[in-house]
Amino acid sequence: MWAIEDGQRYTGCNEGNFARTALSARSFSISNCPACDGALRFAKSYGDHMVLQRGPQRAVIWGYTDKDFQTISADIDGINGTVTTISVNGMWKLKLNPMTDEGPFNITVSTKAEGNITLHDVLFGDVWICSGAANMGFSMSRVNDSDNEISSAMAYNKIRILHVLYEESDASLIDLQTLHTPWSIPTEDLVSNFSAVCYLYGEYISRHHNYPIGLIETDSDDNDTSIQSWISSSSVTRCGKPTRNDTSGAYNSMINPLLTMTIYGAIWFQGESDIEEANKYGCHLQTLINDWRTLSHHFSLSETSNTFPFGIVQIGPNFHNYNVIGPVPDLRWSQTAKVGYLPNPTLPNTFLAITFDLPEFTPTSHRLHPKYKQDVAERLGLASLAVAYGVKGIYYQGPFPTSYKYSKRFDELTIEYDHGKTVLDVRVGAFYFDVCCSRNSTTTCGPHDSWVSTFITEHSDTTVTIATLSCYERHVVGVRYNWRESPCEFKMCQIYGRDNDLPAPQFSVGVALW
């Protein structure tokens, strides 16, 4: 339950509403409890065939009862001990003992007054939340080679799925309102309507870890929600006054009800609706991650880590025009806290999938929603192995600049990648680099200075040299790469890692760091 010793005050359940307030400097409130007067039952986020978080974390389960102050007990097929709690305000909450055996198991919750209820065919593995907007909601039925992907998905018998129906709420809900699909063993019909990135990511993790994976899809389907919709009302003002009508709506109905469940991590694919506020996105993303981590750690009785791994898919290309810059590169830059890669000190324990080289330039394409989700999931999964699972020796990022050598005499700038440790694959192309030219400054690129396209003049295994003569008599004060809305054809941007085939991230750096 929400234990008294855990510092909680319960204000009751009046006409179906339940409020919880923490006796601390920070206040948490939850309303609209759907059935506080219901008989013994589980919350909607639990069900037969589900995956609960494996040990060493302890899985948290909770639900409802119509009698207060009665002993609630739970056991897992009579093994690993019985755990008990006391019901309060029509609700109960339990931590199961840690389970490293995957099962399947039956979990029975019982009371003397109301009998018992059972979750059947429960597996213990890693639970991942998959959230975001239309790109996360892009279903398996729409991906490239979808029939084959859906058929192949049936081989992953340790993956289980839960699909939350998109809804928004003005108030923060304690339980899910409507399920698109309850916890299920995947079938072709269910997988075809499930998030492609989420399921393919689960496949990648499952191939490398021989234990169950639970995937919870909670996104806006085909609707493009803003990031502010996914942040709690207590945190969304940290980046200034909210600017969207959907503020906290998706969080209230689709995230808050899941935070009591113990999870391993989350992945995020969103950004299309925030392009016009690209410079604020970094603050909002950092707030969202910290928000989810803090609240899930609190509501799961400290079982979900307050630094749980968080994967981010960078927004992809748009129109088939290589000359358009626009705000999209700024949004991508903000998705890495203006560093260029993840993890970094501002966004620790995060990982990234780059997608700007995965366009779908066809008359019927979805542009910002391309169908090549297999590459997205594979890049995200590779990074997850290194960051979320700590697998050593994995090269999960594209090459990134580490030093710059400018020659005014020869009008050139030589850029070394990864301290000379990564062998580059330089592909065909012309103007992927820009240099900033300034008449008035020798140190910074200001708003009145000019970015001018340039080209690679030569390259070695670990360096590229670009021309700077386009600045003429002006000072060269900055360099950037791939600063375009749609920088290249499919997997044909200019710089990749030779050994991992991953694209070099976009970057922008001033002369002060040369």
271: left (phi over 0), alpha (psi -120 to 50) or beta: left
Please give the pLDDT value at position 289.
Answer: 98
Token representation of residue 412: 């050139």
| pLDDT score for 370 | 84
Q: What is the residue extent of each domain of the chain?
A: 4-118, 124-387, 401-513
For 467-492, write each residue's pLDDT tens digit. 999 998 899 999 999 999 999 999 99
Q: Does residue 394 carry a pLDDT above 50?
A: yes
For residue 352, pLDDT beyond 90: yes
Where residue 15 falls among pLDDT bands split at 50, 70, 90?
A: very low
Q: What b/e readout covers 453-468, taking b as 16+ CB neighbours within 10 angstroms?
A: ebebbebeebbbbbbb
Q: Which residue has the tokens 């410079």?
A: 279
Q: Tell me what the pLDDT averaged over the chain comes to.
A: 90
Taking the C-alpha atoms of residue 343 and residue 363, their distance in angstroms, rounded to an integer, is 36
Architecture of domain 401-513: Sandwich (2.60)
Cα separation, 219 vs 308, whole angstroms? 19
% the chain with pLDDT above 90 = 82
Q: Is the whole model's pTM more than 0.85, yes or no? A: yes
Whether 124-387 shares its CATH topology with 401-513 is answered: no
Out of 2.30.30.60, 3.40.50.1110, 2.60.40.420, 2.40.40.20, the CATH code matching 124-387 is 3.40.50.1110
Q: Looking at per-residue confidence, does 265 or 13 come out higher? A: 265
Residue closest to 67 by CA, chosen among 94, 87, 85: 87
